[in-house]
Amino acid sequence: MANVSTLNATGASMDAVKTELASGPRGKRPKRVMSGRNIMIYGILGLAALYYLLPLYVMVVTSLKGMPEVRLGNIFSPPMEITFEPWVKAWSQACTGLNCDGLSRGFWNSVRILVPSVVVSIAVASVSGYALANWRFKGSELFFAVLIVGAFIPYQVMIYPIVIILREIGIYGSLTGLVIVHTIFGMPILTLLFRNYFAGLPEELFKAARIDGAGFWQIYGRIMLPMSLPIFVVAIIIQVTGIWNDFLFGVVFTRPDTYPMTIQLNNIVNSVQGVKEYNVNMAATLLTGAVPLFVYFVSGRLFVRGIAAGAVKG
């Protein structure tokens, strides 16, 4: 309104207009910290954080209490006497079925499943994504489409046929079988991920490398790989969390002595005989969830750094 009136000012008040122009707003517009918008945003974020952190808090405090204290039922109160007994028990003494060596057995089983599954699936998917993006062959688009359809078929549909296949080739129940299953089921989404990433890299880089005489593997290893740290981190996050948290394949394709950690956790928590040791259950659950959490915290940083590095035009 003030502006409109100054614009309408006649010649007599020109001097007033001039001073108003000079003293008007200049530079950066000040931002209010306590604006309604900010209160809204931070309020909602805070509530959401509280909602998700509360169960975690309950788990942590319960796992640090002794059973007598747990029985008091004050689940939100901090432990009066901190004890790490439940953690030790969950890791090395809790019984599942016949074994009473705790979650440690399942942890090492899970590691032995996780490492080869992640490495093999990412290695295969990155090469096939690279081939699909840069070395188009006849029918490559169709091949890719078929692969993507695989991502939409529910796993449960394929379990029985896979059990029979693994039995016939004699690796049913072994960790090898489970690793193969994890690798294959990781293919569609990982290949899609890598293909799209490589397709997004400048095509001229690939052309330049071909003019320079580099072949399929040299271009992959020396040009493409060093440029794709961010996507590898994304793939690792997807695979580690997916495979570590897997329950269905683990329970179907392994035997009790090769059960991964998630199955063991279930067996500890859901065991019916004796007292329900909530503190041990909480400790066991936190132990099982530690690996994906660790991966998020470590690679999340790497991930951001990778994105930032990729943003510099090369």
Partner 1 sequence: MTDLSNLSNSVSIRDLSLSFGAVTVLENLNLDIKDGEFLVLLGSSGCGKSTLLNCIAGLLEPTEGQIFIKDRNVTWEEPKDRGIGMVFQSYALYPQMTVEKNLSFGLQVAGLPKDEIAKRIARASNILQIEPLLKRKPAALSGGQRQRVAIGRALVRDVDVFLFDEPLSNLDAKLRSELRVEIKRLHQSLKNTMIYVTHDQIEALTLADRIAIMKSGVIQQLDDPITIYNRPRNKFVAGFIGSPSMNFLTGELAEEGGRPVFRTNGVSFSLDGYEASEALSPGRKVVLGVRPEHIKVDGDLGSEEAHDAIVDIEEPMGADNLIWLKLAGHTISVRIGGARRYAVGSKVRLGFDMTMASLFDAQTEERI
Residues making contact with partner 1 (CB under 8 A): 202, 204-205, 207-214, 218, 222-223, 226-227, 312-314
Nearest CB to partner 1, comparing residues 193 and 209: 209
Nearest CB to partner 1, comparing residues 34 and 142: 142
What is the rounded distance in angstroms from the CA atom of residue 151 to the CA atom of residue 239?
14
Cβ of residue 201: shortest distance to partner 1, in angstroms?
10
Nearest CB to partner 1, comparing residues 41 and 309: 309
Q: Record the tokens describing residue 203, joined without a space.
A: 């095509």
The answer for residues whose C-beta is within 8 angstroms of residue 107's C-beta and 6 or more apart is 91, 261, 287
Give the Cβ contact number of residue 81 at 10 Å: 9
- Cα 190 to chain center, whole Å? 13
Cβ of residue 304: shortest distance to partner 1, in angstroms?
18
Single-letter amino acid code for the residue at 94 = A
Bridge partner list, 153: none
Q: What are the Cα distances from residue 253, in Å, to 95, 111, 182, 246?
A: 21, 16, 11, 12
Beta strands in 79-195, from DSSP E residues, in sequence order: none
Nearest CB to partner 1, comparing residues 209 and 236: 209
Cβ of residue 129: shortest distance to partner 1, in angstroms?
19
Cβ of residue 239: shortest distance to partner 1, in angstroms?
24
Nearest CB to partner 1, comparing residues 212 and 257: 212
Cβ of residue 228: shortest distance to partner 1, in angstroms?
10
Please identify which residue in the block is written with the tokens 């003019």.
Answer: 211
Of 300, 289, 294, 263, whose CA–CA distance to 60 is shortest?
A: 289
